[in-house]
Amino acid sequence: MFKVTINGREVEVSEGTTILEAAGQAGVYIPTLCYLKDVNEIASCRICVVEVEGQDELVAACNTPVVDGMVVRANTSRVRTARKENLALILSTHNVECTTCIRSGNCKLQTLSNDFNMGAFAAPSFEGVPAAQDWPQDFPLIRDASKCIRCMRCVNICERVQASGVWKATPAGGVDVAAASIEESPCTLCGQCITHCPVGALTARDDTARVFAAINDPDTITVVQVAPAVRAAWAESWGIPREEATPGRMASALRRIGFDYVFDTDWSADLTIMEEGSEFVARVKNAENETFPMFTSCCPGWVRYIKAQWPQYVDQLSTAKSPQQMFGAAAKTWFAEKEGIDPNKIFCMSVMPCVAKKHECALENMNDAGAGQDVDLSVTTREMARMLRECGIDPRELEEEEFDNPLGNATGAGVIFGATGGVMEAALRSAYFLVTGENPDPDAFRDVRGLDGWKEATFDLAGIPLRVAVASGLANTNRLLAALDAGEVQYDFVEIMACPGGCAGGGGQPIHDGQELAGVRGDILYGLDKHADLRFSHENPTVLQAYEEYFGAPCGERPHHLLHSDHHDWSMPHK
């Protein structure tokens, strides 16, 4: 153990601890900007500089390990001046338009500028905000170079956590797309670069105006579905306790925005289990003619990733559409028919913890209901929160309300789709039933829960040993696929979610700089499952009703047409 003194407070820390971590233990706050634990420890912004006794120069707290007896001063005039001057330099190349910036109020640079009272700091008259780069504004991911502070978080998270390498550092210290353009890059639209950008340089396309336009059109019937993970995060920016930010209040909030029908993607998650579970059981029964593992297909970031990086495995993806798309197909067919609504009048939209969903819903092979896009628009959890604020809806003031029916009915199995391992667990619950005709213990497959990036388990499915794996985060996924490719591992069924921790940590979720909340949000979802009346997708009454009234049998003719897709209909630029 090393003894370290920081601002006069002595603390004992283990060898290898950085000054920043030691300061945390000593209760001393040291500001950071570029720092992202384990991902971006490059000490480039120099905001965390401190004085170390015996050293002439200031040192970066974030990546300097302490030594025994080190005396650190983190709050001297020299330290604060250096931080301010560096901040002034950063501001000099930053397009400061805080009033209209989407990150206003949730911007690390803005916070630091306020903390350091930069308005009163007489910085020299610097010049040179870079011009905003040409960017396809219809792409779900938007980059504004004039706001980039070149902290390199995006470069490192994309390469190290998501194994995609979309961003590169340019020789002069800028950031650019590594490919010829973002459309020609292997970008999975996971959105992790957005949620880890400290400023407003990386954002998701804002589609709220289109939502309000649809709501305001009296001839349009607006139908909204909400993804499982959204309920675990939607009210975070109001700072209310998680137990109070219930799905019921969320349904109420959406209804107040003005949607005609407030439905739940959990319902179509159950539908997905019926299709994907049946598909898997069919593949198992036809094992000699099939190639394993079968991969889940509900995460569009993952689908984009496999197409870009491992195209040889595309045929092993489940053909089942994602819950978002199954919902759209069901809403504009069975629901419309049942309610006697012209599906062409339905504006079907989704609230997703995801940026890639914006791309998925616009795919041309996703308009099987014959009334335009099955899902007309997808907005992120962040956009939903912005709409609530614009409408003056305070989640703290809302009463609990039910989702509308029939597409608002869901089981615990549908809820856990929002966490890593959840799709696998839900699928196994129903697959067990499909094979044995009996329900297993709903928690029988809990081994696939948790935040490990690559989990493995073997379950006994009525005498058939079933080897499953679950990965989240694309670098973990890449390791899994490489091992699979090398023959080092064999699986029957593999669940992949592009974002670390699954949709709970999705790229469309609220941003809390420096915090990874996938675990906390995932726990909310597992809690909802635990207390749910129904915990098996095959017991969802309105799902069964839909089969009975409209779809027929899972994986049958109509589901094949409406609820499955051909992955070869579109492709990604290959690496």
Q: Which residues bind other proteins (CB under 8 A)?
A: 42-46, 49, 56-58, 60, 78, 81-82, 85-86, 89-90, 92-93, 124, 126-128, 150, 152, 169-174
CB of 295 to other proteins, least distance (A): 27
Give the CB-side neighbour count of residue 324, counting CA atoms within 13 A.
Answer: 34
Helix or strand holding residue 10 (H, E) = strand 9-13
**Nearest CB to other proteins, comparing residues 7 and 92:** 92
Measure the CA dihedral 459/460/465/470, to 10°: -20
**CB–CB of 352/381 below 8 Å?**
yes
**Nearest CB to other proteins, comparing residues 43 and 245:** 43
Q: Is 184 left (phi over 0), alpha (psi -120 to 50) or beta?
A: alpha
Nearest to 493 by CA among 464, 463, 470: 470
CB of 310 to other proteins, least distance (A): 17
CB of 49 to other proteins, least distance (A): 5
In 317-433, the DSSP E strands lie at 346-352, 377-380
CB of 28 to other proteins, least distance (A): 19
Can you spell out the DSSP letters for 27-53? T-----SS-BTTTB----S-TTEEEET
**Nearest CB to other proteins, comparing residues 152 and 504:** 152
CB of 42 to other proteins, least distance (A): 6
Nearest to 300 by CA among 121, 72, 503: 503
**Nearest CB to other proteins, comparing residues 125 and 137:** 125
Q: Tell me the C-alpha distance between 165 and 145, whole Å.
A: 18
**CB–CB of 356/190 below 8 Å?**
yes
Helix, strand or coil for residue 501? coil
**Nearest CB to other proteins, comparing residues 113 and 409:** 113
CB of 14 to other proteins, least distance (A): 25
CB of 122 to other proteins, least distance (A): 9
**Nearest CB to other proteins, comparing residues 4 and 60:** 60
**Nearest CB to other proteins, comparing residues 107 and 555:** 107
Cβ-count burial 85-106 (b if 16+ within 10 Å, e if not): ebbbbbbebbbeeeeebbbeeb
